Structure 1
Amino acid sequence: MGKILSIVSRQVKLYNVENRAQKVISQAKPQSAPMFESNLKDLDRVLSEHPDLIQKLNTKNKELDENLKVIFVTSTDSQHKSMHTKDSTKSLPSDRAIADDFEFGHLEPLKISRGHCTLRQAIKFISDHHSSQSEWTVSKIAKEYSIREPVIQNILSYFKTFELHMPDKNAEKRNILLKFPNKTRSIE
């Protein structure tokens, strides 16, 4: 329905467009916008005080024209310096290499407050605990990183490191054959 309306509205807009354009072009002078009453009153007041004002504005003042021809402007400011000169107070960067990305996506702080740890430290103690739970207990991790034991317990229970599991290709073939036992062809 929307497409039909757009086609119809376009046809209405384009109807007799050439004649309407010729009518606007053939007008002698475009009409000026209407003035406000306050502007009309100001204009009447100025014209009553200076009746020859319009004639003065429309004539060329030869004296002012000659003065403009005589004037030449040259800059003599000695303190004007380019921003790219060596004498500039603000130097441009000398190293234009792209800054390297941080390992974990953000800059690690140099000083860590008590009860907090960095992402690198958290990954380290999570992986240590996962590899040997008897050696890296919750209490040992809490003492080493100065974090409360319940917080460490929550971290270890809710966060894990990624593990890589490589599938066995022979097991995959066997699974396919088990799913489709009626197939006579073997998959290789």
Structure 2
Amino acid sequence: MGKVLSIVVRQANLYNVENRAQKVISQAKPQPAPTFESNLKDLDRVLKKHPDLIQELNVKNKALDDKLKVVFVTSTDSEHEPLRAQDTEKALPSDRTTTDDFEFGHLEPLKVAKGHCTLRQAIKFISDHHSSEAEWTTSKIAKEYNIKESVIRNILSYFKTFELHVPDEKLEKRKLLLKIPNKTDSIK
């Protein structure tokens, strides 16, 4: 069916092609796209200063034409150099291993500006604070990392490290499957 359809479409496209081509050729040349208003203002300004500019551009300048005839370019090379030099003696790289990715997806800076911290430092003080809030207070973290205490307070309130929460009933089912005795079973 596809071949029959393509033949029909081709015949429809070729139908009356000469008359359609003559109709397009006999039409007037298409009008150029309108120019911007700023370009029209510039053109008017230039034409006011030099009214003969369009005539000068349409006439061949004999002096420039004569100078162009004097200029000649000659090649001094006897052989043409290829566009891409192929060095067969060039050594290929001996180490073809890929580089390891960075731990957090980007290269950490060696120096950290005052009032800033790296992702590694932020994760460390967030986890330290959540593990022991009494020891790692916001003021202690702010002094250690040279960051404003309000910024540390915001970081600690809005960002947390991942924690694994297993519901008790799933934990019980898993213990039964693994046959791990409960703490209460060992007391009896």
TM-score, normalising length from structure 2?
Answer: 0.47
